[in-house]
A and B are shown apart, each in its own frame.
Chain A
Amino acid sequence: MLGRHGNNLFWMARYLERSENTARRIQAVLNHALSREDGGREEWAAILVNGGFKTTFDKKFENNSPTNVINFLLRDRDNLNSVMSLMSAARQNGRSVRTCLTREVWLSLNESWIACETVLKRPVNIHDLPTILDGIKKGSSLFRGALYGTMLHNDIFNFLCLGTYIERVDNTIRTIDEKYHRLLPTAKVIGGNEDQGQWEVMLRSLAAWRSFNWLKKGRLDPSGVADFLIFDERMPRSINFCYRQLKSNLDNLSNIYGRVYESSKIASEIVDGLNNNRSKNIHKINLKDFIGDHIAKNHELSLKVAIDFNLN
C-alpha cells in the first residue's frame, strides 16, 4: 500500500471519529442543559474552551448562546473541526483512497457526507438538533458496520483502526483532563449534585452512561468514574481499551510487514504502564500528572506511526 494512502486512511478515520465525538459531546450537553434552569450555559461554554475553539469562536460571535455554539460546532466552515468540515475532510481523504475501500464502506462515507451537506446547509435550531445528532451517529455506525463486515482485516484495516483509536483515546484523555478535579476522591464531599451532573455529561459524551450504571448498579462516585474511563478493558472508549487496540493493530502490522516498529514498542510500554497503575489504589495516582503524561505519549505515538510507515 502507498504511504500516502496509509496517511489518507489514518486521517479519514481520525476525522470521522472526531466528528462522532463532537456529536456525542453536543448531545450530552444538550441533555444536561435541558434539565437545568440556567440552560447549561457553563457547559456550552466549556465545549468551546475544551476543544480549543474559543479564539475562532469569539472572532465570529458576540455571545456563546447555545444556538451560536451549536452552529459553530456543527456547520461553521471556518471551524476546521466542525462536523461539516470534518466530514468534508474525511470524504476527501476517502476519495483519495477510493481503491482501498469496499464499495459499501465508500457508500456509507459518501452518503453520510451528502446527508450532512443537506441537513447542515441552513442554520440549525435547537428543535432539529436531536434528529441531526442521531443522523450523524447513525452514519458513523453504518460506516463502522460496513468496515468490519466487508473489508479485509489487513494493513488497510489496521491503519483505519490506528486512526480511530488514536483519535478516540485522545478524546477520552482530554475529556478527563477537562474535569479531572471533579474526579478527585474529595469531589464527592465538595460538589454534591453539581458533580453528579458533570459526571453524567462526561459519561454520556463517551457513550458510557448506560454501561457505567449497569456495571456499578447506579453507584455514581468519582473514583468509580475515573477507574472506569481509564482502566476498564470492556469499555470501548476507555484509555486502556484504546491502547490495547492500538497495540494489537501495530502488532498486526509488524507481522504483515515482518518488522518491529518503534511505534509498536511505545504502544506496548503504554499498555504495560496502564497495567502497573491499575494494580495500585486509584487514590494513589496523581490524576493531573497521569493525564498530562498520556496526552504527550499519545501525540508521540501518532508521530511515530507516521514515521514508521511512510505516512506522507
Chain B
Amino acid sequence: MFDEMLTEQSDEVRAPYRTLMSWLGEQDLKKLSKESALAEELFRGVGITFNVYGDKDGEERLIPFDLIPRILALNEWRRLEKGIIQRVAAINAFLKDVYNGQEIIKAGVIPADLIYKNRAFLPQMCNFIPPGDVYTHVLGVDIVRTGVNEFFVLEDNARVPSGVSYMLENRSTMRHMFPELFTTHNIKSISGYPKDLFNSLSSCAPNDISDPNIVVLTPGIFNSAYYEHSFLADEMGVELVQGSDLEICDGRVMIRTTAGTEIVDVIYRRIDDEFLDPMSFDPDSLLGTPGLFDAYRNGAVILANAPGTGIADDKAIYSYIPDIIKFYTGEKALLDNIPTWRCAEAKNLRYVLDHLNELVVKEVHGSGGYGMLIGPAASKRELAAFAKKLKTNPGKYVAQPTLALSTVPVLTKSGLSPRHVDLRPFVLVSPDGIKVTPGGLTRVALKKGSLVVNSSQGGGTKDTWVLGK
C-alpha cells in the first residue's frame, strides 16, 4: 500500500510533505482536531452544504473536511497535467467524430452498436459542430494513485462535473485557519479558476460577440450541487437562472429581468441533457426551456457542456479511451486506464464471474458509488446475488481489479491515520486551448480501510496542494 506522506519503510517522510510534517510536529494534534469544528462552522456559515437525494428529512449536510492537505510535487503534477490535456483533447475529437463523420467506427476501432445503442448517445446532436469544436467546456478527470509513479484514470466526467467549489472553498478555509502554512510553502494558486471559467466560456461565444451575456443554469435550490451553482455564478459575476427564467423569442434566448428582457449568449448549464428542453428531450421535464435546443442548433446560444457528451464518459466507452487517444492523436496514452472487463463480452463475463470476490463491478450508467460491488468486501450472499444480476444483464456492467489506492493521513481523534484518496482535477476547454487548474479536489474515504470516497457515502475532502519550485 502506497502512502503519499511516508515512504514504505514508514519512517521517512516523502519530500513534498517534509515542511508540513515538521509543522505538524509542533502542533498539539488534540487541539488541532478540535479546530476541525471551526472549519465545520465556517462551511456551515457559508452554506457549503449538499442535499442527499432520497433523504426524507431533506436536511442539508456538510461534506466532512479534513485539515491535513494532500500534497503533490511539481514534477508529479506536470506529468498528470500532460496526460490529462492529451486525454481531454482526444475526448473532444472523439465527440466531434461520433456526431459527424464517425471515422472511428468506420475504422473498426469501436463497435457501432456500442455507440448507436448507447443511451448516452444523443442523435439530436448529429451533423452539428459547436463553435470552436468544443464539446466539453468543463471536465473533471478522476485519478487514483497506487505507487510513486503509478497513476490511473478511474473515470472521466464529461457531462456536468461538480466539485470545483469544494476545491476553492477548501483552499480558502485552509488559508483562513492556517495562514502560516502558506508562508512556508510555495503553493500553486487556484484562485483564478472562476475568472478562467468566465474567459473560457466567453471565448466560445457565438458570432464572435466580444462581451457575451453568460448565465449559469441551475435546477434550483433543492439540487444537491446548488451551492456550487450559486458560488460559480457569484464568482463570475453572472446571473444564476432557472429554466423558467428563460424564454425563446424570435430564435434568441432571453431572460426576464426587473427591467424587461435581455439576450443570453452562453449558458453554463448545470442540468442534465434530458431536462434541458422538453421539446427536444424529456417531454415531462419542468426544469427546461421549450425551444432551447433549437436555438442552440441554430447558433443563437452556446450550451456548455454541449448536449450528448455523455457518450465519451460512459463506462463502456471508458475502456476504449486508450484506443481513442491513439486514433485521434497518433500517440500512446500518457495516463493509464484501469484494466476493465466489459461484461457484455462472453469471455469477459466468464472471467468476472470466476473472480468476483477480487473485482469491483460497476453499472455502466451508474454514478455516485451507487449500485456497485466491491468484491473483496462483499459477503458470500452479496456475491451470489450480484452474480445473478450479472448473468441476467451482463451488458449493464463492467469490472475492474480492486486497486490498492494510495493513502494520505487524516486527522482523527487519536492522531494521524492513513485513509484512501482519489483526485479530481478540473479542466477547461476553449478554442484557445486546454487548461488544468493545479491540483483539484481530493476526496478521501474517512472510514478506515474503505475505498469509497463519494460524498453521498461518507467520503470527505481535503485541500490539494501542488508545490511550486
B62 CB, nearest partner CB in chain A, Å: 12
Instruction: List residues of A (95-130) whose CB comes within 8 Å of B's CBs.
Output: 95-96, 98-99, 103, 106-107, 110-111, 114
CB B142 to nearest CB in A, in angstroms, measures 28
Residues of chain A within 8 A of B226, CB atoms compared: 95
- Grouping DSSP codes into helix (H, G, I), strand (E, B) and loop, the B interface class, with mixed when no group exceeds half, is mixed
Q: How far is the CB of A256 from chain B (nearest CB, A)?
A: 8
Chain B residue with the shortest CB-CB distance to A256: B259
Q: What residues of B have a CB within 8 angstroms of the CB of A312 in the complex?
A: 256
Residues of A within 8 A of B258 (CB): 1-3, 5-6, 155, 159, 253, 257, 309-311
Query: B residues within 8 A CB of A2?
Result: 239, 241, 245, 255-258
Q: How far is the CA of A2 from the CA of B256 in the complex (A)?
A: 6
A3-B258, A111-B45 are known contacts. Are A95 and B221 too (CB-CB below 8 A)?
A: yes
- Residues of chain B lying within 8 A (CB to CB) of residue A216: none
- Residue of A with least CB distance to B244: A4
Taking the complex as formed, is B202 at the interface, i.e. its CB lies under 8 A from any CB of chain A? Answer: no
A107→B44 CA distance, assembly (Å)? 9
Once the chains bind, are B221 and A92 in contact (CB under 8 Å)?
Answer: yes
* Residue among B233, B244, B257, B260 facing the most chain A CB atoms (10 A cut-off): B257
Residue from B234, B256, B257 within 8 A of A99 (CB atoms): B234
In contact, A98 and B240 (Cβ under 8 angstroms): yes
Question: Would A4 and B45 count as touching, CB distance under 8 A?
Answer: no
A256 to B259, CA, bound (A): 9
Determine how close the nearest CB of chain A comes to the CB of B157; give it in whole angstroms.
Answer: 24
Q: Is B442 in contact with chain A by the CB < 8 A criterion?
A: no
Give complex CA distance A2, B44 in Å: 27
1/0 per residue B193-224: CB within 8 Å of A?
00000000000000000000000000011000
Given contacts A2-B239, A103-B46, contact A310 B233 (CB under 8 A): no
* Interface residue tally for chain B (C-beta within 8 Å): 25
Whole-angstrom CA separation of A114 from B227 in the bound complex: 17
> Is the CB–CB distance between A107 and B46 below 8 Å?
yes
How far, in whole Å, are A312 and B45 apart by their CA atoms in the complex?
28
A99, B241: Cα distance in complex, Å: 10
Q: Kindly provide the distance from the CB of A3 to the nearest chain B CB, expressed in whole angstroms.
A: 5
Interface residues on chain A, size class: 20 to 34
Q: Cα distance A1–B256 when bound, in Å?
A: 8
| Beta-carbon contacts under 8 Å, A172-219 to B | none
- On whether the beta carbons of B245 and A99 are closer than 8 Å, the reply is no
CB-CB under 8 A for A110 and B47, given A99-B239, A99-B240: yes
Check if B289 is an interface residue, CB within 8 A of chain A. Answer: no
How far apart are the CA atoms of A6 and B239 in the complex, in Å?
12
Q: Is B309 positioned at the interface, with any CB of A under 8 Å from its CB?
A: no
- Write out, one digit per residue, whether chain B residues 237-271 have a CB within 8 A of any chain A CB (1) or not (0): 01111101100000000011111100000000000
Docked Cα-Cα span, A155 to B257, in Å, equals: 11
**Distance in angstroms between the alpha carbons of A1 and B240 in the assembled complex:** 10
The CA of A310 and the CA of B244, in the complex, are separated in Å by 13
Residue B230, interface by CB 8 Å: yes
- Distance in angstroms from A302 CB to nearest chain B CB is 15
| Known contacts A2-B241, A4-B242; A98/B234 CB under 8 A | yes
Q: A98 to B257, Cβ gap below 8 A? A: no
A30 to chain B, nearest CB (A): 30
Q: B239–A98 contact, CB under 8 A?
A: no
Q: How far is the CB of A133 from chain B (nearest CB, A)?
A: 23
Which A residues lie within 8 Å of B45 (CB)? Answer: 107, 110-111, 114
Chain B residues with Cβ below 8 Å from A99 are: 230, 233-234, 238-240
B235 to A, closest residue via Cβ: A99
Q: Which of A5, A155, A259 has the most CB of B within 10 A?
A: A5
Q: Tell me which residues from 285 to 336 in chain B have a Cβ below 8 Å from any Cβ of chain A.
A: none
Pair A95/B257 contact, Cβ less than 8 Å = no
CA distance A166 to B240 in the complex (A): 27
Interface hits, B41-81 → A, CB 8 Å: 44-47
C-alpha spacing A1/B239, complex, angstroms: 7
Tell me the complex Cα distance, A107–B42, Å: 10
- In angstroms, how far is the closest chain A Cβ from the Cβ of B28? 28
B366 to chain A, nearest CB (A): 29
Chain A: CB-nearest residue to B233:
A99
Q: B231, B245, B257, B258 — which one has the most chain A CB atoms within 10 A of its CB?
A: B258
Distance in Å: Cβ of B362 to nearest Cβ of chain A: 34
In the complex, the answer to whether A257 meets B259 with C-beta atoms within 8 Å is yes
Which residues of B have CB within 8 Å of A253?
258
Complex: A155 Cα to B258 Cα, angstroms: 9
- Most B-side CB within 10 Å, residue of A6, A98, A257: A98
Closest B residue to A113 by CB, please name it: B47
Distance to closest chain B CB from A153 (angstroms): 16
A99, A106, A107, A155 — most chain B CB neighbours (10 Å): A99
Q: Can you pick out 11 interface pairs between chain A and chain B where the beta carbons lie within 8 Å of each other?
A: A1-B239, A1-B257, A3-B256, A95-B47, A96-B221, A98-B227, A110-B47, A155-B258, A257-B258, A309-B259, A310-B260
Closest 4 CB pairs of A and B: A98-B230, A309-B258, A257-B259, A6-B258
B residues near A (Cβ < 8 Å) are: 44-47, 220-221, 226-227, 230-231, 233-234, 238-242, 244-245, 255-260
Known: A2-B255, A114-B45. 17 other contacts (CB 8 A): A1-B258, A2-B258, A3-B256, A4-B244, A4-B245, A4-B256, A6-B258, A92-B221, A96-B220, A98-B227, A99-B233, A99-B238, A103-B46, A107-B46, A114-B44, A310-B256, A310-B257
